[in-house]
Chain A
């Protein structure tokens, strides 16, 4: 089946640094990718929708300057947490949509645990 690779799986960084998370669709072209954030023991909250070749669409309350999303190719979207602070510590998960066929196909990466010290 289709695979979405997310890297890194875990990152620890100092406050003030920027962290980049990659999301790749390995065997299909994803015109749309989604980024989610999950706080401990909570649900997944959609942060933004990333469309290849265009600007990401952010959900209400998500700072676009803090969470930079780039979807430069049909197989890669990146999320950069800029000037990270401890409150940005969270589990980030991407998903990629395979638009081919008539059925909705959505595949998730394995997530990235970000810890900001």
Chain B
């Protein structure tokens, strides 16, 4: 079975602090994709990153960075110098195949509050 665990329910930081959102996954598939999505108060899902299981290189995009560690089945997301606009719910997700049937399974989400 596939599972995504985001143990942090809510995180509150002060602007300019760095914050790391944790994501641990479980899958029996050897081919899978990991995602991070942002859901601002308006409700739409904003795609942030997709990483396939064969690419363990860490990635940096502006203030965002991702650390993929297959050995610990983790795909953590770090926001550096956080801003108020980063306040949102962040979802980690997993899509595996063939066992997973291309279904995307979401974690419970981490609600991030960035205070000015």
Contact = CB atoms under 8 A, between A and B. Distances in A.
Contacts of B107: 43
Nearest to B44: A110
Contacts of B43: 91, 110-111, 113
Nearest to B6: A43
Interface in A22-68: 32, 34, 36, 41-46, 49
Contacts of B37: 108
A103 B91 CA distance: 20
B108 interface: yes
Contacts of A91: 43
A75 B24 CA distance: 33
B50 interface: yes
Contacts of A106: 33, 35, 50, 95, 102, 104
Q: How large is the interface on B (under 10, 10 to 19, 20 to 34, 35 or more residues)?
A: 20 to 34
Per DSSP, are chain A's interface residues mostly helix, strand or loop, or mixed? strand
User: Which of A36, A43, A108 is the most central at the interface, judged by chain B CB atoms within 10 Å of its CB?
Assistant: A43
B57 to A, nearest CB: 15
B103 A49 contact: yes
A113 B95 CA distance: 25
Contact of B102 (A104, A108, A111, A113): A104
A43 B44 contact: no
A32 B101 CA distance: 10
A49 B106 contact: no
Residues of A in contact with B, size category: 20 to 34
Q: Which of A42, A104, A108 has the largest number of chain B CB atoms within 10 A?
A: A104
Nearest to B10: A41
A93 interface: yes
10 shortest interchain CB distances as A-B pairs: A110-B44, A104-B33, A108-B45, A44-B106, A43-B108, A43-B106, A43-B109, A111-B43, A46-B103, A104-B95
Interface of A: 32, 34, 36, 41-46, 49, 91, 93, 95, 97, 103-104, 106-108, 110-111, 113
12 contacts: A32-B102, A34-B104, A44-B91, A49-B101, A49-B103, A104-B52, A104-B95, A104-B102, A106-B33, A106-B95, A108-B37, A111-B43
